[in-house]
Amino acid sequence: MLNYKLLEALAAVIECDGFERAGDALGVSQSAVSQRIKALEIRLGQPVLVRTPALAPTPAGRRLLNHYQQVRLLERDLTTALPTLESGAPRLRIALNADSLATWWASAIAEFCTQQGVLLDLVIEDQAVGLKRLREGDVAACLCDSDQPIAGARCINIGHMAYSPYATPAYAARYFHDGLNDQAFRHAPAIVYGPHDRLQHRFLERCGYQGPFPYHLCPSSEGFVQLTLNSVGYGMMPCCQVTQQLASGQLISLSEEPLSIPLYWHFWRHSGELINHLTKHLQQVTIA
């Protein structure tokens, strides 16, 4: 039989990215967390964590984290039926992309959180990377652009986000005065969210360009908009995020045809009623 205090310590170390912060979260010392991890590794006869160059679960650790995520959700169902077992508000750890968080997510999830008394632990990842978090057991569910479910999980399309390349009129006049062509793409600095962000590449490929291009990295949706407004670069942003800037003429779209990116909700098949309720709720949401 597994000792769930040991699994709790493993989850805390990964979620908090460190033994000391995990101890703070669990209300125990860093030494106590280390001892629990050591006890778990002795029990399994193999390591559950890779300590260097960065903390990460081993394959065995990922299996245990997957199991622990599902147990936590199933335990929530049990406390609903047996309220005397309740030990606090349920917490859902979910991976989603920053653009969703900056636009439609908060209004979509607010009523659900209030009705269910749920606390969220949001992990911000590019939509192309979130599935890796679920596979590793770090989150209970994720939003991403992949329609391929991992083993033991389900995948449901909940809508699309429309992206267009935006720039200030001055920036467009400087770099794109002759339109969207190879010469402009080679010289106009773009803005990319992070190393896994492929939206800019998709746009350029759709325009028939596959060569190198200069770009700034900006891992913030709000910062992305601000850099664009100040003519630092141009970039792919959700159409619903810059409606005011478009109406005022601060920004213009460089393309008449938006890039439609699907969003898929991935979750474990046996995650319990809370995830099922959330899934049904998200299926009714209209993503602007």
CA atoms of 191 and 182, how far apart (whole Å): 17
* pLDDT, mean over the chain: 88
Tell me how many degrees the CA angle 127-96-20 measures, rounded to the nearest 5: 120
Higher pLDDT, 72 or 99: 99
Identify the CATH number of the domain defined by range 161-260: 3.40.190.10
Fill in the DSSP letter of residue 87. -
Q: What is the mean pLDDT of residues 82-91?
A: 57
Per-residue pLDDT reduced to its tens digit, 41-78:
888 888 899 887 888 889 888 888 888 877 777 776 66
Per-residue pLDDT reduced to its tens digit, 147-197:
998 888 899 999 999 999 999 999 999 999 999 999 999 999 999 998 888
Residue 265 pLDDT exceeds 80: yes
Between strands 141-144 and 91-96, the pairing is parallel
For 190, the 3-state DSSP assignment is strand
Q: What integer pLDDT is reported at residue 52 of this predicted model?
A: 79
Confirm whether pTM is higher than 0.75.
no
**14 touches 55 (CB < 8 A):** yes
